[in-house]
Amino acid sequence: MGKRRNRVCGADVHKDLIVATIDSSDGTEIQEQFGTTRSELERFRDWLIANNCEQVAFEATGVYWFPVYDCLSPSIDTIVANPWMVKGLLGDKSDSHDAKRIAGNCLDGKIKRSRVFSNEDRALRMMTRARSGYTKTQTQFRNRVHKYLALCGIKLSSCISDIFGKSGRIILDGLVEGKDADSILDSITSKKIKKKRDIIKAALANGLDDTSRMIVKDNLELLDLLKKKIEKTSLEVLSKFQKSAKDLAIVMSIPGISFRSGSTILAEIGDYRDFQTPEQIAKWCGLVPGLNESAGKKKQCGITKQGSKNLRTMLVEIAQVIAKMRNNKNKLSRYFHRLSARKCYNVAITALARKLITIIYHLLINQELYQENNCTTAASKPVKRDLLYLSKDERLKDGVAAIVDAFYHLKNRYSVGGG
């Protein structure tokens, strides 16, 4: 329990309405309603100051609390609480009751503060999440292309591993333009495609009907637009990491972590110095097992999943990449295969994801690069020329290479570890 206050305010924040209740240690209560426009938030702030409120608390409801916090926090001590931590009893639900309950808990110092990112970290996280949204939408459109090809009896995905690669796009564009299989395959110089010419020609025998051709063409155009959006957003993310380039290089030194996944991890963590131990950050990711106890008997259950969903998802994706590495190329891969021999796949992947976040925390705190005793990290490619004169794709690749290359040369100055 925290320090008891003399006068505090509890607020129930909604999209267009804020119900606020001021509670005092002498039992007096004042309740008022406000809108969520800038002028209304300023009136809310002035009302709190006029009533000598020492503290204001409200739940983190979606994204509606952000402008409220930005307006109030410079003038009054503001607490943003996890709704799960301050939820009320079932059957006693109303805006006024919620505001009064939050005010009472705040008065007794029972509300635990949630982490609130700075404006700069918040902007970075918004960009990485927008990029993830573009990537998910890109996957949806790709699946639609697969669907319409299958409806027309075109078995292209059975012949080519990635139909959206260089050769695959030539074939798709040729199908959309109504070309025959021979003319499409003649325009491809890939030796792998030439070896499969007869198989691919048989797969393209049916062709696209007029309706499918139109829909596939629209999906391909949207995929090209999404690719440009992803590249543009990645360039913005890269520019945001100029000040913390070393942290990005440290995270990317771990096998299986690329620029996209590394930047997402750092954006979701925010200031890693907020955590005192690696167990705390693992718990914040929701990667620790829950514990049920009854009648003195303790039983561990699945992971809590109460932390950052985006960070947990990214860590699991990286763990799956590491698990697919052949010949146990690194310690992390060997750890997974050793654990999967006696545990199910999902348990082993989750354990590897937790191990990853603890390693990342240690490396960031100690400012060390990841390195194993029996391997050497390959040097990155040199930067070609000034990034301003390159295409978006080249600027992104060379920008990442410049960041990583600049800090991989610090291996002789720092004692590397974290395996």
Q: What is the pLDDT of residues 7-45, one digit of tens each?
A: 999 999 999 999 999 999 888 899 999 999 999 999 999
> What is residue 404's predicted lDDT score, i.e. its pLDDT?
55
> What is residue 268's predicted lDDT score, i.e. its pLDDT?
95
Report the candidate in 286, 334, 278 with the shortest Cα–Cα distance to residue 310: 286
> What is residue 417's predicted lDDT score, i.e. its pLDDT?
34
The CATH number of domain 120-239 is 1.10.10: no
Strands (E) located in 35-84: 55-59, 77-81
Average pLDDT, the chain: 85
The gap from C-alpha 395 to its chain's centroid, in whole angstroms, comes to 23
Q: How far is CA 112 from CA 1, 61, 108, 199, in A?
A: 9, 16, 11, 63
Report the candidate in 360, 419, 411, 406 with the shortest Cα–Cα distance to residue 380: 406
> What is residue 252's predicted lDDT score, i.e. its pLDDT?
92
Calculate Rg over the CA atoms of the chain.
27
Cβ-based burial of 86 (10 A; exposed 0-12, middle 13-18, buried ≥19): buried
Whether 317 shows a pLDDT value over 90: the answer reads yes
In the chain, CATH 3.30.420.10 covers 7-107
> What is residue 205's predicted lDDT score, i.e. its pLDDT?
87
**Residues 185, 187, 193, 195: is their CA dihedral positive or negative?**
positive
Region 363-392: mean pLDDT is: 59
Q: Are 307 and 279 in contact (CB under 8 A)?
A: no
Residue 238: CB partners within 8 Å, gap ≥ 6? 259, 263, 396, 399, 400, 403
Instruction: Classify residue 73 by its DSSP letter.
Output: T
Percent helix, strand and coil across the chain, each to the nearest 5:
55, 10, 35
- Of 44-48, 251-255, 343-347, 382-386, the poorest mean pLDDT is in 382-386
Model confidence band, residue 402 (pLDDT cutoffs 50, 70, 90): low
In the chain, CATH 1.10.287 covers 120-239
- Of 40-44, 95-99, 351-355, 379-383, the poorest mean pLDDT is in 379-383
If one counts every other C-beta atom within 10 angstroms of the C-beta of residue 235, the result is 16
Q: Which of 282-296, 334-348, 391-405 has the highest mean pLDDT?
A: 334-348
Cβ-based burial of 183 (10 A; exposed 0-12, middle 13-18, buried ≥19): exposed
Residue 351: CB partners within 8 Å, gap ≥ 6? 339, 343
How far apart CA 128 and CA 314 sit, in angstroms, is 12
Q: What is the DSSP string of 134-198?
A: HHHHHHHHHHHHHHHHHHTT--GGGT-S-TTSHHHHHHHHHHHTT--HHHHHHT---HHHHHTHH
How far apart CA 77 and CA 79 sit, in angstroms, is 7
Q: At what angle do helices 119-151 and 259-269 cross, to 10 degrees?
A: 140
How far apart CA 31 and CA 371 sit, in angstroms, is 59
Strands (E) located in 225-359: 289-294, 297-303
Instruction: Classify residue 294 by its DSSP letter.
Output: E
**Residues 55, 280, 360, 316: is their CA dihedral positive or negative?**
negative
Model confidence band, residue 293 (pLDDT cutoffs 50, 70, 90): low
Report the candidate in 294, 293, 348, 292 with the shortest Cα–Cα distance to residue 319: 348
Residue 77, amino acid: D
Fold of 7-107: Nucleotidyltransferase; domain 5 (3.30.420)
Question: Where on the phi/psi map is residue 367: left (φ > 0), alpha (ψ -120 to 50), or beta?
Answer: left
Q: What is the pLDDT of residues 241-290, one digit of tens each?
A: 988 889 999 999 999 999 999 999 999 999 999 999 999 999 999 898 87
Q: How many CA atoms lie within 13 A of 84 on its CB side?
A: 5
Structure tokens at 94: 């109303």
Region 129-158: mean pLDDT is: 94
How far apart CA 117 and CA 148 sit, in angstroms, is 44
